Amino acid sequence: MSKLADLIIRGGHAVTPNGTEAIDIACVNGRIVALGQLPGWSALQELNATGLHILPGAIDSQVHFREPGLTHKETIAAGTRGAVLGGITGIFEMPNTNPLTLNQQDLQAKQAIAARDAWCNYAFYIGGSAANASQLATLERLPGCAGVKVFMGSSFGDLLTDDDTVLQTILRNGSRRLAVHAEDESRLRERRGLVEKSGDVRQHPYWRDEQSALIATQKVVRMALQENRRLHVLHVSSAEEMEFLAGCKPLVSVEVTPNHLTLTAPDCYERLGTLAQMNPPVRDARHQQALWQAINNGLVDVIGSDHAPHTTAEKQQPYPQSPSGMTGVQTLLPVMLNHVNAGRLSLQRLTDLTSAGPARLFGLAGKGRIALGYDADFSIVDLQATRTIENHWIASVSGWTPYDGMSVTGWPVHTIIGGRAVVCDGALTTAQPCGRPMRFFESDNNEDLTP
């Protein structure tokens, strides 16, 4: 008897827990229902993936989409549109918007926008601060919440947590993995005068030096160990941090960005000026080599883009008044696939860093692998395709990328979310966004975890 699927993907090579396999994939009601050779199956839609590789849907676990309040830089609609065009099927969005995401009402306001405008699946961080520290154990378990994010530096107002007593209170109130931007605010303030005098963006990694990152990382890890609290250190950028964090497993997980793996100082600052400015900074080749070593020895758990756009007019302000941050969600896979092509990491390892890793660390339900019963989210890529990344391809409101003009080998071709082809052959297939909130095993609202 013939079996009917909503979607069958035929002819591709899928990256599964068994390795890379030449199999077909059948999807019904947004889930994977059959894998292998499927001669007895038919489908309402079939997708020919011959010559392509099928990855479990890539998740970018660090983006700043600036909505509400800063929509001249970015929006949830534009940011998630860029995500799916770049092969990303889900994102975790950060709390430094206006208003800040500090309570249930703030979270629900973002979820309402995403329900209308998001092209990919989504979750939102709550910001950890003195203003809400005692409520975080409840807030972190709200449906659609990715967890709590703490800024030890590089933030403002209620989101800046540079007080040890407040940080300890945050660590004690909650049990989910706590994400942290670790730069020592007092050291940054002391050293700002160095660049105020020079106005030279090439000194950005000198102002925000490796010690600024290491001091903060050591402090928050020490406090987390005292409280037995799981920790996730974002955008680790230095060799010194990696050496320290190697002794902190498994309580502490590690993220790196494509920017720190790809750009190097001083070249990027000489070519791009303030467009290369981000926090923590892009550093020299010694640090980049240490990050690659940490990927190869398994110390790094995930790759996140730290997509944090500003307009070109804002970036053209004199340094250091120019804001830090750059686009990244749309270029995460093209840039990292180019590293795969260059032999710096395997496709299986990239899959772990962008799919299985986020699912494992944050308790995502149904994500992270191509397996029976899992959500039918796929990033389908052509490992042989050579393309040039250009500003006009970028969907972000800001409209630029630090990789403009860069030739890469490896490109996202189709993006499948919930068994639905949202992008085919690099183009959107629908006029209507179809993203949904992601589900977490540690949410209080788990009734939707069963099929």
pLDDT digits (tens, 9 = 90+) for 34-88: 999 999 999 999 999 999 999 999 999 999 999 999 999 999 999 999 999 999 9
Quote the strand ranges of 128-184, DSSP E.
145-151, 178-181
In this structure, which CATH number among 3.40.50.300, 1.10.10.10, 3.40.50.720, 3.20.20.140 belongs to the domain 58-362?
Answer: 3.20.20.140
Assess whether the previous peptide bond of 320 is cis (omega < 30° from 0).
yes
Q: What is the CA radius of gyration of the chain?
A: 21
* From-to residues of CATH 2.30.40.10 in the chain: 3-54+373-385+406-430
* From-to residues of CATH 3.20.20.140 in the chain: 58-362
Tokens at residue 53, please?
């590789």
CATH 3.30.70.20 fits 3-54+373-385+406-430, yes or no: no
Q: Indicate the helix (H) or strand (E) that contains 290.
A: helix 285-296
Tokens at residue 1, please?
């008897």
Give me the pLDDT at residue 451, please: 47
Task: List CB contacts of 431: < 8 A, sequence separation 6 or more.
Answer: none
The SS3 call for residue 408 is strand
Task: List CB contacts of 23: < 8 A, sequence separation 6 or more.
Answer: 12, 14, 16, 35, 36, 37
Mean pLDDT of 383-410: 98
pLDDT tens track for 146-204 = 999 999 977 667 788 888 999 999 999 999 999 999 999 999 999 999 999 999 999 99
| Phi–psi pair at 272, nearest 5 degrees | -110, -15
pTM for the whole thing?
0.97
Asked about 444 being catalytic, the answer comes back as no
**Whether pLDDT at 287 is above 50:** yes
The rounded percent of the chain whose pLDDT value lies above 90 is: 93
Q: Are 162 and 153 in contact (CB under 8 A)?
A: yes
One of 6, 106, 306, 382 is an active-site residue; which one? 306
Quote the strand ranges of 57-120, DSSP E.
58-63, 88-93
For 91-100, letters b (16+ CB in 10 Å) and e give bbbbbbbeeb
Pairwise CA distance, residues 426 & 375, whole Å = 22
Upper half-sphere CA count for residue 197 (Cβ side, 13 Å): 5
